[in-house]
Chain A
Amino acid sequence: MRAFEYVAATDIAGALRSARGVDARYLAGGTNLVDLMKLDVERPSLVVDVTHLANADPSLAQITELPGGGLRLGGLAHMSDVAWDARVRERYPFVSQSLLLAASGQLRNMATMGGNILQRTRCPYFRDTATPCNKRDPGSGCSALHGINRTHAILGTSEHCIATHPSDFAVALAALDATVRVRGESGADRTIPFTRFHVLPDAHPERETMLEHGDLITAIDLPALPFARHSLYLKVRDRASYAFALASAAVALDVQGGTIRNARVALGGVGTKPWRSPEAEHALVGRPATPATFAAAANAALAGAQPREQNAFKVELAKRTLVRALTEVAA
């Protein structure tokens, strides 16, 4: 690992000040950043430890009630704390499931809400400095387009990058229409709708989110959504546990009298960003909760898929994953 300077910030203003104008990274759980620094993919000259910010403002690491029945997840709240929280499990089962099906018990005790949605792709070329990668080294080329691309994305890809977004939690957040709260250089809070938080790679895969340099995620707001009590995060992977998704689906359904009144659908493991599917939702709402409807929704969700040599199986896998998730939630 390259040498770097380290500072532990004691308040948000201090953290923002430290990060200003230098090649700095915020350190929370460290599960992604320290790993990538060891691989020489991340090369910050300054690491700003933000874990002590919760001493000055405990809500940064807590789960708090929002007016109207929503929940605010502090940016420094740990994955394990949110996953096991009784309110999260009751109101948003798919959020809890997406967290518990990700990483390992140790990693979930370290990784935070803010860090989770900023985690970088597991594309092996991104993680290997010996190979070209437009995301790591803009303009150097994409090794995955004609390389080993079994785990890569089939939705939202470009000719410059087909790296899959790795987060499970972010898929549930996309389905939920969550909101990211950010404190920037101005010192003022602003909010970013979650479905717009991540950006498609297009010609600039090195840019992954709407954040500006130095922005700090202070919280993720989960809106009240009563029918999310009937939700599921279904994850399909190479191992039974402790693996990234090949395909996953976050689904919430409001079914009354056999008819789907409202639906939320997002896919994971197949997109360059957490993949909300308004096409699938459109194919569900107002229709009977039947296998035919679910199949039509799955076809709609994957209509724009652009598979490569090794990942064509994901088209069918994602469809079946979504159909099964819808079937289980509607049951």
Chain B
Amino acid sequence: MHASPALLVFHPDQWDPARAEQVRAYSRTVTPVLIPSSDPRAARYGVAGRSAVVVTDSDGEVVWRHISGSGALPKPADVDAALAEIIEAYAAPRTGWSRREFVGTVLAAAFALALEPAMTRAEAAAMATSHAAPGATRPVTLHVNGRDIALSLEPRVTLLDALREYAGLTGSKKGCDHGQCGACTVHVDGRRVLSCLTLAMAAQGKQVTTIEGLDDPMQQAFISHDGFQCGYCTPGQIMSATAVMHEPWGPTDDDVREAMSGNICRCGAYVGIVEAIQQMRRGSGGPQ
């Protein structure tokens, strides 16, 4: 089989561990490999003694490189774009697999191969384990959309990540991951909450509803009133909107704006969102 793309992060010996977290956030599909920049492998990529991020393709060829003088890390979007390009290129000949399925399938098997010829398989395996998280997983049962889902999770896994990365429910979106954008809004025991700030452990024994489990005329109202453009914030908007129906807000458009201020829409579809919610609140008929 072929190898898959690799993400190599070269770092100074004195390195803030928080940076490792930042680096892990670069890609949800390709696991970054952390290598001290004093390591001989750094010289092979021309980054000896420097902070750098290198993306290699399935042949181990460097396709993208970011060298930092100040220690600043490259923008996640740039890293993601570099990875996306070669992953799409590699995935293209195959049919019937989504990009997500494809990446998820090849990663585990191809991880060591990915680093050749710059690194042996044994070296790669050692790197991977030495930087693995120390937390132990434990069984967690989540009650989502009316069914029980049994998972094995570390305590630090949020409800959002449990839904998206472990339960395969990718309808809830990760926007800011800090409780500021509302894209991850779900219902827990009937109330709207932010799944990115909820630990999966703490959601046990509660009824979780995501957009996948919702069957509500609000969804049609958003369509009828153009309550979205790109659609990324929409699951969170709709989960929030359906909960607002049961909260004691006043009747005006301004009340809707206040009630919905925790859901940000970068496309600016607010006019349609307010119209959709007001149509539902007034109970003025179903879908147009």
Instruction: Name A residues whose Cβ lies closer than 8 Å to a Cβ of B.
Output: 1-6, 8, 27, 29-31, 34-35, 37-40, 47, 49, 51, 80, 84, 103-107, 109-110, 129-130, 240-242
Asked whether B201 lies within 8 Å of A241 as measured between CB atoms, the reply is no
Residue contacts A-B, CB under 8 angstroms, 11 given: A2-B17, A3-B134, A6-B201, A30-B198, A30-B199, A31-B194, A40-B21, A105-B240, A105-B247, A130-B16, A241-B258
Interface string of B170-181 (1 = CB under 8 A from A): 000000011100
B202 A242 Cβ-Cβ under 8 A: no
Is B185's CB under 8 angstroms from A106's CB?
yes
A96 to chain B, nearest CB (A): 11
Asked whether, in the complex, the Cβ of A129 is within 8 Å of the Cβ of B18, the reply is yes
Give Cα distance in the complex from A248 to B273, angstroms: 30
Residue of B nearest to A101 (CB): B258
Distance, CA A103 to CA B135, complexed state (A): 32
Closest to B184 in A: A106
- Residue of chain A at shortest CB distance from B185: A106
Chain B residues lying within 8 Å of A30, measured Cβ to Cβ, are: 197-199, 202
CB pair B198 A110 closer than 8 Å: yes
Of B44-52, B154-162, B219-227, the one with at least 4 CB within 8 A of chain A: B154-162
Taking A27-B202, A47-B155 as given, write out 7 further A-B residue pairs in contact, using a Cβ cutoff of 8 Å, ordered by the A residue number. A3-B156, A6-B199, A31-B194, A38-B21, A49-B201, A49-B202, A107-B197
Mask of B260-273 contacts with A, CB within 8 angstroms, 1/0: 11110000000000
Q: How far is the CB of B139 from chain A (nearest CB, A)?
A: 13
Using A38-B177, A47-B155, A109-B192 as known contacts, say yes or no to A8 and B18 having CB atoms under 8 A apart.
no
* Contact status A84-B248, CB under 8 Å: yes
For chain B, the count of residues having a C-beta within 8 Å of the partner chain is 37
B193 contacts A by Cβ under 8 Å = yes
Bound Cα distance from A5 to B156, whole angstroms: 9
CB distance from A123 to the nearest CB of B (A): 15
Q: Is the CB of B194 within 8 A of A107?
A: yes
- Cβ contact of B155, chosen from A6, A39, A130, cutoff 8 A: A6
CA distance A109 to B21 in the complex (A): 29
A3-B135, A109-B192 known; A35 and B261 CB under 8 Å? no
Interchain nearest-CB distance for A319 vs B (Å): 27
Chain B residues positioned under 8 Å from A38 (CB to CB)? 21, 177-178
Interface residue ranges, B against A (CB under 8 Å): 16-18, 21, 133-135, 154-156, 158, 177-179, 182, 185, 191-194, 197-199, 201-202, 240, 243-244, 247-248, 257-263
Output the nearest chain B residue to A128 by Cβ-Cβ distance: B18
A68 to B154, CA, bound (A): 48
Whether the pair A40, B193 counts as a contact (CB closer than 8 A) is no
Specify which chain B residues have a CB less than 8 angstroms from the CB of A2 in the assembled complex: 17, 21, 156
Evaluate contact between B197 and A110: CB separation under 8 angstroms: yes
- Residues in B with CB closer than 8 Å to A241 are 257-258, 261
Q: Is the CB of B156 within 8 A of A4?
A: yes
Shortest CB–CB separation between residue A118 and chain B, in angstroms? 16
CB proximity of A131 to chain B, nearest CB, Å: 12
Q: B269 CB to closest chain A CB, in angstroms?
A: 17
- Nearest CB in chain B: distance from A289 CB, A: 29
List residues of chain B with CB within 8 A of the CB of A105: 192, 240, 243-244, 247, 259-262
Task: Using CB atoms, name the residue of chain B closest to A6.
Answer: B155
Residues of A close to B198: CB separation below 8 A: 30, 34, 110
Shortest distance from the beta carbon of B146 to any chain A beta carbon, whole Å: 21
B261 engages A34 (CB within 8 Å): no
Give CA–CA (A109, B192) in the complex, Å.
7
On chain B, the residues within 8 Å of A1 by CB distance are 21, 156
Contact partner, A106, options B17, B133, B178, B182, Cβ 8 Å: B182
* In-complex Cβ contact of B178 among A35, A47, A104 (8 A): A35
CB closest chain-A residue, reference B236? A106
Tell me the smallest distance from the CB of A111 to a CB of chain B, in Å: 10
CB distance from B206 to the nearest CB of A (A): 10
Known interface pairs A105-B243, A106-B192, A109-B191; A31-B261 also in contact (CB < 8 Å)? no
Looking at the assembled complex, report how far the CB atom of A60 sits from the nearest CB atom of chain B, in whole angstroms: 16
Query: Are B262 and A110 touching (Cβ within 8 A)?
Result: no
**Which chain A residue lies CB-closest to B177?**
A38
B134, B178, B248 interface centre (most CB from chain A within 10 Å): B178
- On whether A40 and B18 interact (CB within 8 A), knowing A51-B202, A84-B248, A109-B191, the answer reads yes
- In the complex, the answer to whether A5 meets B262 with C-beta atoms within 8 Å is no
Given contacts A27-B202, A38-B178, A242-B261, contact A109 B156 (CB under 8 A): no
5 nearest interchain CB pairs? A104-B262, A3-B135, A6-B155, A241-B261, A40-B18
- Nearest B residue to A84 via CB reads B248
Residues of B within 8 A of A34 (CB): 158, 179, 197-199
Q: Please tell me if the beta carbons of B199 and A27 are within 8 angstroms of each other in the complex.
A: yes
Chain B, Cβ-Cβ closest to A78: B191
Q: Give the residues in chain A near B178, CB-CB below 8 Å.
A: 35, 38-39
- CB neighbours of A29 from chain B (8 A): 197
A3 touches B194 (CB 8 A): no
Give A98 to B240 CA distance when docked, in angstroms. 21
Q: Give CA–CA (A130, B17) in the complex, Å.
A: 11
B179 contacts A107, CB within 8 Å?
yes
In the complex, A124→B178 CA distance in Å? 14
Nearest residue, chain B, Cβ from A31: B197
How many angstroms between the C-alpha atoms of A317 and B154 in the bound complex? 47
Nearest chain A CB to B181 CB, angstrom units: 10
Judge whether B17 and A110 touch: CB under 8 Å: no
